[in-house]
């Protein structure tokens, strides 16, 4: 059974209690949103998600999207839910008030994104892609284009897409072939085929605005000859009303493993009118503006789906009776004990819990930096926030989606045979979560971005934005006592392994970039584990202090310490394995002749 209530208490913990010392907390944007307002927004979002989006999750999966004569129909109930979502102002939540947005801080907005992804990740793509498109348009578009499109995109009246991939090129966009030819009036005509376009065509909005990567006839080869264009489905008239169809059609929708309520479209552009966004041949830069935001959001998808899977597994583990506790009967009134009594079931639930609380803590830390980056009054803080976001974006994307997928799989395991049956709802989480490890750059590409770009940039400047607070915290708590003491010890050891790995990769990678490539995935995971370990140790420290103060929420803080202890006992040991794998180098990865495969 699909069960979900937004974990508001843990969200508030990550938002207000955990990261007070990170230096990102004085962003101007926060001043406009006091705790009471934020709580009201979070609670209202929680209600909307559980009541409106969650009930459409499984029905949407069963029904899927359909295409008839180029018209794409979303599942029953999606249009009404979208209207309610839009009318409630949820589309405009995090956007600039200049365009009608509400300017909600990212650290709050990302928590609401988590709720939406937990309730209905297929639905999340419709407003989600629009948000990506407005980010790129706002950052790089001309004032004229912005005036014409931003208000309706921000409100959700129109939706947006990102048209990057073609059948022969995904990761390697330099190969793309869609052509854009300049017209006398300054517009372009675009012709080409795109695939895997989320929300490329659907019935939720009156107009769809495509952001399309294409090449002009005289453009340099490869990624240096790619430009970004805005191509609306209907070209708006001067008065804002919709004009003619613009030669943009949906050739087909994909039959996918999951995310079935999200229309993944093959889009055909035939002499479609478009306008350049930003400079010619600088499309990749504009695209990355949008892509980086999206990468953090895709990480949040992993967290959200994982959380829903976790809650659904907890529900079942308390409800399903099977066998008796090894330490004596727990439910004498029932024919058997609920399976949550069994240590191996607990292990699975605690693993999920540790993954999700750990990711949420790291996610809020990064989101606070997103806010500081754009609105801290202190240029030093802005700089440090930018470095930190740059470093952590690939980590959030890959780590959260990997662990969210693992959590979904553990949920199925808790359900046993019933989890394999579609009616249970949990196998859907596995199918839905699988794509997040792939799109917006596969997790392997995230790892290469981390070791190849983010790590070496500015002689390790990005890394310092992460290493410094962690080493400071270890130093400050070297004399810790009680449950924190072993956590600091283990954190110190894992951090040491991370530092050594960093030096190894930097050194070997200089002489041979394949060495960095061979280490990339394990290094990203190692860094992610250290980030979670740091957050858990801080959480345990904060919680211990609250308990010492005699907090009225003892159960919450005790559970937080217990979950942290579990993380250090059972999850962090993987850091040692990753360190050993990195140390082994590329030799045995590259040894086999291609013909031997």
Residue 40 CB-density burial (10 A; 0-12 exposed, 13-18 middle, 19+ buried): exposed
Of the pair 418, 464, the CB lying nearest a second copy is at 418
How would you label 132-167 residue by residue, b for 16+ Cβ within 10 Å and e otherwise? bbbbbbbebbeeebbebbbbbbbbbebbbbbbbbbe
- Which of 11, 180, 463, 520: binder of a second copy (CB under 8 A)? 520
Residue with tokens 């962003």: 27
Judge whether 151 and 99 are in contact, CB under 8 Å: yes
Site string for a second copy, 186-215 (x = CB under 8 A): ----------x-------------------
Of the pair 218, 594, the CB lying nearest a second copy is at 594
Site string for a second copy, 10-49 (x = CB under 8 A): ----------------------------------------
Q: What gap in Å lies between CA 575 and CA 572, rounded to an integer?
A: 6
Judge whether 518 and 585 are in contact, CB under 8 Å: yes
513-548 vs 484-511: helix axis angle to the nearest 10? 160
Cβ 290 to a second copy, closest distance in Å?
17
Of the pair 534, 568, the CB lying nearest a second copy is at 568
Strand-strand pairing, 242-245 and 234-236: antiparallel
Strand-strand pairing, 158-163 and 207-214: parallel
Where helices occur in 424-512 by DSSP H, the ranges are: 426-434, 443-449, 457-476, 484-511
Q: Under the criterion CB under 8 A, does residue 5 sit at the interface with a second copy?
A: no
Q: Under the criterion CB under 8 A, does residue 326 sit at the interface with a second copy?
A: yes
First to last CA, the chain: 43
Q: What angle do CA 375, 378, 381 make, to 5 degrees?
A: 85
Phi, psi of 300 (to 5 degrees): -65, -30
Q: Under the criterion CB under 8 A, does residue 479 sit at the interface with a second copy?
A: no
Q: Under the criterion CB under 8 A, does residue 590 sit at the interface with a second copy?
A: yes
Of the residues 427, 440, 475, 549, only one is catalytic, namely: 440
SS (H, E, C) 22-37: CCCCCCHHHHCCCHHH
Cβ 595 to a second copy, closest distance in Å?
8
Q: Under the criterion CB under 8 A, does residue 419 sit at the interface with a second copy?
A: yes
Q: What gap in Å lies between CA 305 and CA 479, rounded to an integer?
A: 39
Where helices occur in 260-326 by DSSP H, the ranges are: 283-319
Q: Under the criterion CB under 8 A, does residue 346 sit at the interface with a second copy?
A: yes
Cβ 399 to a second copy, closest distance in Å?
15
- Which of 17, 63, 514, 553: binder of a second copy (CB under 8 A)? 514
Asked about 440 being catalytic, the answer comes back as yes
- Which of 287, 412, 497, 535: binder of a second copy (CB under 8 A)? 412
- Which of 238, 459, 479, 592: binder of a second copy (CB under 8 A)? 592
* Size of the residue set binding a second copy (CB under 8 A): 97
Q: Under the criterion CB under 8 A, does residue 319 sit at the interface with a second copy?
A: no
Judge whether 309 and 352 are in contact, CB under 8 Å: yes
Residues 540-579 interacting with a second copy (rule: CB under 8 A): 555, 558-559, 562-563, 565-566, 568-570, 573-574, 576-578
| Residues in a beta bridge with 71 | 68
Phi, psi of 492 (to 5 degrees): -60, -40
Q: What count of other Cβ atoms lies within 10 Å of the Cβ of residue 117?
A: 31
Q: Under the criterion CB under 8 A, does residue 77 sit at the interface with a second copy?
A: no
- Which of 186, 417, 550, 552: binder of a second copy (CB under 8 A)? 417
Of the pair 242, 457, the CB lying nearest a second copy is at 457
Reduced to 3 states (helix: H, G, I; strand: E, B; else coil), residue 528 is: helix
Q: Under the criterion CB under 8 A, does residue 223 sit at the interface with a second copy?
A: no
Q: Which listed range, 70-78, 243-251, 435-443, 458-466, lies at the site for a second copy (CB under 8 A)? A: 435-443
Q: Under the criterion CB under 8 A, does residue 317 sit at the interface with a second copy?
A: yes
Give 474-480's long-range contacts (Cβ < 8 A, gap of 24+): 477/537, 477/541, 480/541
Cβ 322 to a second copy, closest distance in Å?
4
- Which of 224, 422, 453, 468: binder of a second copy (CB under 8 A)? 422
Q: Under the criterion CB under 8 A, does residue 70 sit at the interface with a second copy?
A: no
Of the pair 336, 547, the CB lying nearest a second copy is at 336
Q: Under the criterion CB under 8 A, does residue 309 sit at the interface with a second copy?
A: no
Cβ 409 to a second copy, closest distance in Å?
8
Tell how far CA 26 is from the center of its chain: 24
Site string for a second copy, 138-177 (x = CB under 8 A): ---------------------------x---xxxx--x--
Residues 230-269 interacting with a second copy (rule: CB under 8 A): 254-258
Structure letter (DSSP) for residue 255 = -
Structure letter (DSSP) for residue 321 = B
Residues 347-406 interacting with a second copy (rule: CB under 8 A): 347-350, 353
Q: What is 364-395 written as a DSSP string? A: HHHHHHHHHHHH-S-HHHHHHHHHHHHHHHHH
- Which of 420, 472, 503, 548: binder of a second copy (CB under 8 A)? 420
Cβ 50 to a second copy, closest distance in Å?
18
Q: Under the criterion CB under 8 A, does residue 294 sit at the interface with a second copy?
A: no
What are the catalytic residues?
440
């Amino acid at each position: 059974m699909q069960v979900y209530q937004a974990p508001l208490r843990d969200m508030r913990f990550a938002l207000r209690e955990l990261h007070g010392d990170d230096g990102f907390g004085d962003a101007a944007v926060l001043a406009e949103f006091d705790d009471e307002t934020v709580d009201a927004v979070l609670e209202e979002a929680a209600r909307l998600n559980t009541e409106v989006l969650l009930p459409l999750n499984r029905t949407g999966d069963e029904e899927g999207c359909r295409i008839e004569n180029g018209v794409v129909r979303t599942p029953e109930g999606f249009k009404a839910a979208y209207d309610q979502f839009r009318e409630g102002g949820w589309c405009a939540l995090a956007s600039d008030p200049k365009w009608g947005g509400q300017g909600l801080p990212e650290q709050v907005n990302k928590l609401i994104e988590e709720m939406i992804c937990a309730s209905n990740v297929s639905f999340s793509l419709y407003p989600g892609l629009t948000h990506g498109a407005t980010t790129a348009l706002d950052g790089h578009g001309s004032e004229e284009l912005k005036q014409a499109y931003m208000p309706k995109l921000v409100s959700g009246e129109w939706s947006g897409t990102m048209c990057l991939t073609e059948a022969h090129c995904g990761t390697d966009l330099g190969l793309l072939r869609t052509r854009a030819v300049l017209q006398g009036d300054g517009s372009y005509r675009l012709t080409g085929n795109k695939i895997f376009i989320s929300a490329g065509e659907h019935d939720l909005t009156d107009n769809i605005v495509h952001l399309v990567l294409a090449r002009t006839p005289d453009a340099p080869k490869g990624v240096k000859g790619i430009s970004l264009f805005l191509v609306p489905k209907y070209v708006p008239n001067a008065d804002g009303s919709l004009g003619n169809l613009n030669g943009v059609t949906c050739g087909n929708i994909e039959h996918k493993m999951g995310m079935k309520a999200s229309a993944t479209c093959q889009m055909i552009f035939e002499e479609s009118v478009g306008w350049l966004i930003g400079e010619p041949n600088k499309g990749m830069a504009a695209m990355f503006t949008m892509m980086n935001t999206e990468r953090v959001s895709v990480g949040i998808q992993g967290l959200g789906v994982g959380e829903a899977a976790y809650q659904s597994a907890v529900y079942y583990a308390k409800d399903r009776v099977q066998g008796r506790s090894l330490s004596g009967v727990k439910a004498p009134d029932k024919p058997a004990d609920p399976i949550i009594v069994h240590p191996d079931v607990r292990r699975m639930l605690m693993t999920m819990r540790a993954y999700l609380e750990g990711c949420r803590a790291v996610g809020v830390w990064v989101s606070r930096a997103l806010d500081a980056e754009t609105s801290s009054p202190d240029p030093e803080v802005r700089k440090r926030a930018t470095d930190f976001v740059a470093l952590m974006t690939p980590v959030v994307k890959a780590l959260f989606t990997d662990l969210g997928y693992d959590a979904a799989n553990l949920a199925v395991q808790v359900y046993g045979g019933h989890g394999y049956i579609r009616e249970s709802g949990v196998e859907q989480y596995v199918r839905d979560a699988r794509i997040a490890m792939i799109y917006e750059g596969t997790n392997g590409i995230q790892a290469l971005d981390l070791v190849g770009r983010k790590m070496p940039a500015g002689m390790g400047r990005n890394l310092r934005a992460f290493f410094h607070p962690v080493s400071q915290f270890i130093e400050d708590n070297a004399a810790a006592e009680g449950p924190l003491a072993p956590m600091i010890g283990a954190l110190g050891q894992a951090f040491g392994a991370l530092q050594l790995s960093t030096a190894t990769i930097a050194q070997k990678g200089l002489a041979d970039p394949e060495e960095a490539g061979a280490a990339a995935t394990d290094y990203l995971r190692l860094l992610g584990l250290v980030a979670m370990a740091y957050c858990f140790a801080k959480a345990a420290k904060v919680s211990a202090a609250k308990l010492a103060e005699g907090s009225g929420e003892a159960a919450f803080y005790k559970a937080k310490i217990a979950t942290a202890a579990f993380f250090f006992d059972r999850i962090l040991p993987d850091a040692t394995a990753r360190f050993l794998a990195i140390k082994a180098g590329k030799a045995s990865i590259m040894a086999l002749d291609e013909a031997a495969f």
